[in-house]
């Protein structure tokens, strides 16, 4: 079974983080920013491809709050939005002052609860500086998730969701792979090539009801309902702490509300091969993706150590950081 160029892998998954590039020519075309490939992209790796649900939400708020063709980036926390604004100011050769909007989204005429309200932070930037905002999005991994975007869209009135999806200018070609300049200026939403008649074309997400999407997420994606989020995070932090201090993977400490009882300094199988003697769930911090964890660790070093150069050994997703005085 093949999947059409530019669609998510596996098919019928609205939040897939892999994309179909069926041929070597397609892969080369993607790296070079070839219009044939870029215009077909309906999915992609989240840091490099802004999910269509996120673009739709950005279109809504860009239309509502943007001035003079401003475009917007969406973030889940104020400190991240402020970091994005500072990044754009530092990287811009001109005087630019991105605007921040603190937005609280809640349904009308419904009792508000933590599961049906969202706090969102918007960075509005001139269109010609949007590429800098996109760099921050890509290099930090701290933008909102496609699932959060869908949650926000579900809370908005239907009439506010009829705007066309704005498509950011396609990224430039990758200089490490390209042998020629790339051309791409499409401002419309991606389309599926008609020539891919023999490929499996998944049902568009807009045709699936919210009940169907939830079923797929929880039944086949093994995702817990939103109400279990805090317990799931606690269980994950506890499992990581347990793995750090001993090598016995058969023990299960559950995900109750009690602290990580019995793990503080306890080693059931002798010294850990990782060299960690004590750790609890309170020592573990979770981030939405690996790049977000790396960015946050680097930021913490910058804030706690004197300003200095940092050296990255290896590819940035899997790197050892050396702080040089």
- CA nearest to 166, candidates 50, 6, 81: 50
pLDDT above 80 (res 176): no
pLDDT of residue 74: 96
Report the number of secondary-structure helices (H) and strands (E) in the chain.
9, 7
Range of the domain at 162: 47-170+205-223
What is the band of 69 on the pLDDT scale with cuts at 50, 70, 90? confident
Q: Provide the domain count of the chain.
A: 4
pLDDT above 90 (res 141): yes
- CA nearest to 70, candidates 110, 112, 114, 122: 122
pLDDT above 60 (res 262): no
Asked, for residue 191, whether it belongs to a domain, the answer is no
Instruction: Indicate whether 141 and 214 sit together in one domain.
Output: yes
Asked, for residue 199, whether it belongs to a domain, the answer is no
Instruction: Indicate whether 86 and 162 sit together in one domain.
Output: yes
Instruction: Indicate whether 299 and 160 sit together in one domain.
Output: no
pLDDT above 90 (res 149): yes
Instruction: Indicate whether 149 and 59 sit together in one domain.
Output: yes
Instruction: Indicate whether 91 and 217 sit together in one domain.
Output: yes
Quick: pLDDT tens for 291-310.
999 899 888 988 898 888 87
Instruction: Indicate whether 214 and 309 sit together in one domain.
Output: no
Question: Tokens in use for 324?
Answer: 């040089």
pLDDT of residue 22: 93
Quick: pLDDT tens for 201-221.
444 444 455 666 666 666 655
Instruction: Indicate whether 73 and 131 sit together in one domain.
Output: yes
The pairing of beta strand 309-313 with beta strand 320-324: antiparallel
pLDDT of residue 182: 35
pLDDT of residue 54: 95
The lowest-confidence range among 106-110, 122-126, 196-200, 305-309 is 196-200
Q: What is the mean pLDDT of residues 125-133?
A: 94
Return mean pLDDT, the chain. Answer: 76
Instruction: Indicate whether 13 and 102 sit together in one domain.
Output: no
Instruction: Indicate whether 270 and 247 sit together in one domain.
Output: yes
Residue 119: helix, strand or coil by DSSP?
A: strand
H or E segment to which residue 253 belongs: none
d(CA 302, CA 296): 10
Instruction: Indicate whether 52 and 123 sit together in one domain.
Output: yes
Residue 308 or residue 73, greater confidence: 73
Instruction: Indicate whether 38 and 151 sit together in one domain.
Output: no
Strand segments, DSSP code E, in 47-200 are 71-75, 99-105, 118-125
Instruction: Indicate whether 3 and 57 sit together in one domain.
Output: no
Asked, for residue 122, whether it belongs to a domain, the answer is yes
Q: What is the DSSP string of 251-270?
A: ------SS--TT-TT--BTB
Asked, for residue 311, whether it belongs to a domain, the answer is yes
Q: What is the mean pLDDT of residues 282-290?
A: 90
206, exposed or middle or buried, with CB in 10 Å at 0-12, 13-18, 19+? exposed
Asked, for residue 7, whether it belongs to a domain, the answer is yes
């Amino acid at each position: 079974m093949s999947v059409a160029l530019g669609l998510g892998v596996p098919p019928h998954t609205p939040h897939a983080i892999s994309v179909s590039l069926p041929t070597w020519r397609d892969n080369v075309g993607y790296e070079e920013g070839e219009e044939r490939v870029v215009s077909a992209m309906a999915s992609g790796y989240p840091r490099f491809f802004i999910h269509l649900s996120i673009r739709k939400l950005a279109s809504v708020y860009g239309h509502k709050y943007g001035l003079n063709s401003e475009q917007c980036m969406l973030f889940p926390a104020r400190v991240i939005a402020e970091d994005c604004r500072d990044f754009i100011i530092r990287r811009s050769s001109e005087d630019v002052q991105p605007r921040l909007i603190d937005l609280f989204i809640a349904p009308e005429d419904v009792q508000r609860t933590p599961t049906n309200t969202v706090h969102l932070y918007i960075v509005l930037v001139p269109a010609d500086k949007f590429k800098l905002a996109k760099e921050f999005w890509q290099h930090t991994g701290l933008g909102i998730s496609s699932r959060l975007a869908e949650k926000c869209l579900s809370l908005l009135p239907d009439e506010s969701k009829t705007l066309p999806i704005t498509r950011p200018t396609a990224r430039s070609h990758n200089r490490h792979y390209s042998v020629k300049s790339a051309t791409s200026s499409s401002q419309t939403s991606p389309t599926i090539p008609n020539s891919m008649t023999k490929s499996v074309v998944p049902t568009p997400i807009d045709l699936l009801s919210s009940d169907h999407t939830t079923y797929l997420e929880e039944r086949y994606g093994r995702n817990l309902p939103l109400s279990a989020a805090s317990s799931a995070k606690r269980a994950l932090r506890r499992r990581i702490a347990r793995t750090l201090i001993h090598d016995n993977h058969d023990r299960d400490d559950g995900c109750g509300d009690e602290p990580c009882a019995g793990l503080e300094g306890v080693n059931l199988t002798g010294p850990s091969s990782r060299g960690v003697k004590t750790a609890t769930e309170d020592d573990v911090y979770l981030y939405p993706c690996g790049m977000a964890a790396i960015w946050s660790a680097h930021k913490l070093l910058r804030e706690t150590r004197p300003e200095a150069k940092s050296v990255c050994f290896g590819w940035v997703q899997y790197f050892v950081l050396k702080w040089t005085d």
